[in-house]
Amino acid sequence: MHKNRICHRDIKPENFLLYKEDDASHIKLIDFGLAKRVVPNEIMNKPNGTPYYIAPEVLKGSYTTQCDVWSMGVIMYIMLCGKPPFGGKTNKDIINNVLNGTYSLKNEVWNTVSDSAKDLISQLLERSADMRLTSQEAFDHPWI
C-alpha cells in the first residue's frame, strides 16, 4: 500500500480476511473507508482510527503513513501475547495509554517469544514516527 502511496489509517485485526478458506497464507486487508492517497511524506491531520491501534502522532494531529506501521506493531503484540499493549477500561483510558506509550515485553508470556520478534515489536511501536521502521524496513526485518 505504501509503495502505491496509500495510507489505510484503520489497520486492525477485524480488517483482515482469509482469501481462501483452505489457505491461511493469503489474507486480504479490507475497509478502505478511512484510507487516503498521499504524496510522499504528506502530513495528515484528521484523526482517524480505532483506539487500541491508533498511533500517538494521529492523536496529536500530525502524521504520515507511519501510523499504519504502528498499527501493525500493535497487532503483532496482540498476536504474540493475547492482549493489547495499551489497554484501558474506556476509550479515553486507551488513548491516554497510547499517548503515554508505556508497554511491557517483560511478563511471563514473553519468555517464549524470540528476541528477534521482540526487537521488531519495539521498532514498530517506536513512539517517534521518524525513528519507527518503515513498512519496507519492517518487511525486511530478520524475524519476518
101 or 110, which is more confident: 110
Tell whether 83 is covered by a domain.
yes
Please write the tens of the pLDDT for every residue from 7-22.
999 999 999 998 877 7
Tell whether 46 is covered by a domain.
yes
pTM over 0.95? The answer is no
Tell whether 142 is covered by a domain.
no
Of 10, 31, 93, 119, the catalytic one is 10
Q: What is the pLDDT of residue 22?
A: 77
Ramachandran area for residue 108 (φ above 0: left; ψ -120 to 50: alpha; else beta)? alpha
User: Where residue 11 sits, what CATH number does that domain have?
Assistant: 1.10.510.10
What mean pLDDT value characterizes the chain? 94
Total domain count for the chain? 1
Tell whether 141 is covered by a domain.
no
pLDDT band for position 26 (50/70/90)?
confident
Q: Which long-range contacts (CB under 8 A, 24 or more apart) does 112-117 make?
A: 113/80, 113/81, 114/143, 116/141, 116/142, 116/143, 117/76, 117/80, 117/143
Residue 31 annotated among the catalytic residues of the structure = no
Tell whether 144 is covered by a domain.
no
Q: Note down the domain range covering 77.
A: 2-135
Tell whether 110 is covered by a domain.
yes
